[in-house]
Each structure stands twice: as C-alpha cells, then as structure tokens.
C-alpha cells in the first residue's frame, strides 16, 4: 500500500496513534519518509503493526530519518552497525529503560527519535509506558507555566554499577556519572514548535539557580505531573510491532513485570543533522 493510503487511527487520549497498512521495509522514497516525519512530529509516537523488518531493513529504514548512533558499550545485532539489542533474560532482574526517561537527555544533543521493534515477547507483561510531554505542559496551570518558563535543568547519566539494586528512586537521588549538560525545562519542538516539558526522574539532577531541596521538589512535581494517567499511553506489544517515538516530546518507561521470562527488542536511535538542532 502506498504511503498516502495508510490509515491513521488516533483516539482522544494521549499518544498511541496507529499507522495501518504501512510496510516499513518498502519505505524508501523521500516523500514517504517526509510523511512519516510529519506524522511523528504531529502525533509524537507512532505504532506500526504487522511489520516484517529484518535487522538490516530496520537499520536501513531508520537511517532515512537521520544519522544513527549506537550507545557505547552495547552490542550490535549481527549484520548491523547501529542496531542495538535490548534483552532481558530469564535470570535477569534489571531491565533496560525501566524508569521514566527521555533517551539521552544527558547528551548535549539528545536523539530525535527511537525506533523499537518487538522480537521476543513475554506471554504477559513487558509493556512500555509513554507519556505525552506536550499535553503535560498544556495541562499545567498558567502560574506554573510562567514560573518554569525560563528555567534550565541539569541532566546527567545515571551510573548503574549494580543493576540488581537499581531502582528509579535510587537513580534519581544518585549524583550520576559523566558530564552534566543543561536543557530548558520547557522545550520548543524545532519542527512542530509545540512546547513540551523536559524534565525526567532518571536524568534530571538539578534546576539551575534553585537550592537542592527546591530543585528536588520541582523535579518531583513535574515528573509526577508528566506521568498522570491522562497523559500516559500504555503500549501492549504484539509480535510485529514497531514503535517510533519523538524523543523530545515524549518520555517512556519499560515495565519490569515479567520476571523469569525472556524479552528481546531491537532498537535504533536517530539523531538530527546538527544544522537543524533545537532552538528552544
Ligand atoms: O524495552 C522497552 O520497552 C523500552 C526500552 C527503552 O527505554 C528504549 O528502548 O529506549
Ligand atoms: Fe529509553
């Protein structure tokens, strides 16, 4: 089916827009890529059902949106240069992405999008939660919107030295590792121009100019606001699902509720060309 015949299904709630009829392995024209980008920037997250992407096809599909980068120290899927394997084995306790976060917010230029494909799913559980940070911003009171308008947050990667002990709370309170970077608390999407909240409990460490106590309180308040049920979509994975999210205007959390079972996903991370970086 051609891109202009795809069916776009969207409910009234946050996120979860489904694109039906697309076969991502045959997306190779610029016009189709541009259309997917427009859909992504408008809906913030897209669910493509019934896909049959080989690892190479997943990588090639992703590369059409911008340069790919692989997080250092992670193994690539065989025959690919950038496709990351996200696996939780039967014996593992820690799951990758198990606390609320925006990918790479600790980087000076975080990725534009992430494209995740289900490879091996548990029989039950293993959903991913997605929060709509544009809707979260719009649902703030005007007072809060003006209070946070010019604030900057410091982000830093968390250092998981003992994954089994890792918990979202512990990550938030830990000093973190790596270089600190700062981003506006209220971002402005470079393409849709929509404002979004950009604070997450995994990587946002401090609000510049606030005391530790004030800063913790505001990060907690905004983080809790972002993950209210009205702003969250819960994706129950099916075999063949590929989910693509705008990494500025959404946050996500992989639910770790399938102990003793294996789960495997393939993941590509797309960056923007440096000349079109965000200008909040
Ligand atoms: O495994 C998942 O559902 C999501 C993991 C995650 O945080 C990511 O791929 O960025
Ligand atoms: Fe993630």
pLDDT digits (tens, 9 = 90+) for 62-88: 999 999 987 777 779 988 999 999 999
Sign, CA torsion 257/262/268/269: positive
CATH of the domain at 39: 3.60.130.10
Q: Is the CB–ligand 1 distance for residue 114 below 6 Å?
A: yes
Atom of ligand 1 at shortest distance to CA of 96? 5
pLDDT digits (tens, 9 = 90+) for 98-121: 999 999 999 999 999 999 999 999
Closest listed ligand to the CA of 97: 1
Residues 6+ apart with CB under 8 A from 85: 74, 75, 76, 77, 264, 265, 266, 267
Domain that holds residue 16: 3-273
Q: Is the CB–ligand 1 distance for residue 130 below 6 Å?
A: no
Is 120 part of a structural domain of the chain?
A: yes
Ligand 1 atom 7: residue of nearest CA: 97
pLDDT digits (tens, 9 = 90+) for 171-190: 555 666 778 999 999 999 99
**How high does pLDDT run on average in the chain?**
91
Asked if 271 contacts 104 with a C-beta cutoff of 8 angstroms, the reply is no
Number of domains composing the chain? 1
Is 162 part of a structural domain of the chain?
A: yes
Atom of ligand 1 at shortest distance to CA of 237? 3
pTM for this entry: 0.93
Give the pLDDT score at 182: 97
pLDDT digits (tens, 9 = 90+) for 44-65: 999 999 999 999 999 999 999 9
Is 280 part of a structural domain of the chain?
A: no
Atom of ligand 1 at shortest distance to CA of 267? 9
Percent of the chain scoring above 70 in pLDDT: 91
Asked if 85 contacts 154 with a C-beta cutoff of 8 angstroms, the reply is no
């Amino acid at each position: 089916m051609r891109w202009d015949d795809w069916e776009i299904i969207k409910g009234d709630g946050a996120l979860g827009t489904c694109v039906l009829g697309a076969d991502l392995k045959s997306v190779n024209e610029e016009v189709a890529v541009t259309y997917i980008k427009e859909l992504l920037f408008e809906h913030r997250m897209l669910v493509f059902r019934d896909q049959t992407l080989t690892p190479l096809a997943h990588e090639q599909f992703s590369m059409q949106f911008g340069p790919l980068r692989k997080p250092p120290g992670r193994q690539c899927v065989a025959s690919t240069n950038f496709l990351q394997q996200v696996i939780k084995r039967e014996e593992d306790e820690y799951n990758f992405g198990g606390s609320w976060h925006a990918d790479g917010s600790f980087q000076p230029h975080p990725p534009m999008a992430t494209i995740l494909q289900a490879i091996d799913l548990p029989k039950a559980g293993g959903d991913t939660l997605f929060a709509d940070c544009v809707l979260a911003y719009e649902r703030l009171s005007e007072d809060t919107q003006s209070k946070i308008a010019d604030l900057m947050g410091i982000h830093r990667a968390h250092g998981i030295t003992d994954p089994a002990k890792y918990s979202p709370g512990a990550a938030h309170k830990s000093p973190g590792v790596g270089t600190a970077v700062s981003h506006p608390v209220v971002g402005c999407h470079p393409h849709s121009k929509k404002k979004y909240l950009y604070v997450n409990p995994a990587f946002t460490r401090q609000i510049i100019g606030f005391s530790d106590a004030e800063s913790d309180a505001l990060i907690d308040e905004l983080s809790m606001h972002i993950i209210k049920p009205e702003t969250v979509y819960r994706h129950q994975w099916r075999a063949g699902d590929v989910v693509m999210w705008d990494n500025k205007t959404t946050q996500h959390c992989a639910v770790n509720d399938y102990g003793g079972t294996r789960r495997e996903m393939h993941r590509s991370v797309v960056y923007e060309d440096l000349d079109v970086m965000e200008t909040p």
